[in-house]
Amino acid sequence: MLHVSKSALILSLILICLGLVGISCRTEIPFEEDFDDMVGNPVDTMMTDSTGVPTDTTTMESEVACDSTVIYFDQQILPIFQGSCAYSGCHDAKTAQEGIILDSYENIMRRDEEDLIIPFNVEKSEVFEKITEDDPDDIMPPLPNNPLSEGQIQLIRTWIEQGAENVSCEVNTGCETSDVSYSQQIAPILDTKCRGCHGTNNPNAGLNLLDYGTVASTGKSGRLMGALNWSDGYVMMPQGMEKLPACDLNLIQAWIDQGALNN
């Protein structure tokens, strides 16, 4: 039997341990970014906008569903300004009467010599003062154009009171059309999209859509949907604006099909 000294045995054990340590240290640690991917850490989603300001795409949200308690600029306020204010000869980009353009959120909210819209403050908002003016020489839209309806004025008032925000919502395309109400569903659409041009004073084409009888007869004749659907042979309405959303068109057509009732 081979005799091994105690000191030699201890030295052998030390060498064996060092060898094991050496083996364990040969596993390479990945670079930091690779390691993040391996363990499932989220990839950096920070982007920059045109001004170089970082934008965290993980917090971006699509349009929210419409809430009946909120006034939405894109769906309810902008059509009023476009139809009743931002037309040729008044406050469109080309005419810019008195240097004022009312065709977009940025232009409507511009702060110059006059404070056109002051969020949360209806009384100090110049636009609201003009649309509720008693003096026929100062009211906007100017005569002989139609003044805004009470419904339109209330929408603008509530929008300002809510902060005059540039908010939008996703219109529910699955509109319920089984029992359509003229007062609750059709009249509000006409208020925001049509009555700026087709009101009581000098209505375009002699068509006063503030009058229920006229709306009903025009609907039953096919003229209303022909214009709103942009059918061949009809002037596309609302003029100079986008086509009405499918939900609005479906509601109006259903109301007509149900007898165009004054309900």
* pLDDT digit string, tens, across residues 119-174: 999 999 999 999 999 898 899 988 888 788 888 899 999 999 999 999 988 765 45
Q: Is 45 part of a structural domain of the chain?
A: no
Shared-domain flag, residues 115 and 192:
no
Task: List CB contacts of 229: < 8 A, sequence separation 6 or more.
Answer: 249
Reported as a single tens digit per residue, the pLDDT across 200-209 is 667 778 888 8
Stretch 91-105: mean pLDDT, rounded? Answer: 89
Shared-domain flag, residues 127 and 94:
yes
- Domain of 83 in residue numbering reads as 63-170
pLDDT of residue 181 exceeding 50, the answer is: yes
- Residue 6 is predicted with a pLDDT of 54
Stretch 228-246: mean pLDDT, rounded? Answer: 88
Number of domains in the chain: 2
Q: What percent of the chain has pLDDT over 70?
A: 72
Reported as a single tens digit per residue, the pLDDT across 52-92 is 333 333 323 345 678 889 999 988 899 889 888 887 788 88
Average pLDDT, the chain: 76
Shared-domain flag, residues 72 and 148:
yes
- The helix (run of H) or strand (run of E) holding residue 5 is none
- Residue 61 is predicted with a pLDDT of 37
Q: Is 56 part of a structural domain of the chain?
A: no
- Residue 249 is predicted with a pLDDT of 93
- Residue 108 is predicted with a pLDDT of 93
CB atoms under 10 Å from CB of 89, counted, come to 10
- Residue 245 is predicted with a pLDDT of 87
pLDDT of residue 2 exceeding 50, the answer is: no
Among residues 218, 169, 158, the alpha carbon closest in space to that of 190 is found at 218
Query: What CA–CA distance (Å, rounded) separates 116 from 150?
Result: 20
Shared-domain flag, residues 148 and 182:
no
Residue whose pair of structure tokens reads 């479906």 in the numeric block: 250
Domain boundary among 147, 170, 193: 170
Question: Cα torsion for 155, 226, 203, 244, to the nearest 10°?
Answer: 20
* Mode of pairing for the β-strands spanning 54-56 and 46-48: antiparallel
Burial class (CB in 10 A: 0-12, 13-18, 19+), 10: exposed
pLDDT of residue 210 exceeding 70, the answer is: yes
Q: Is 36 part of a structural domain of the chain?
A: no
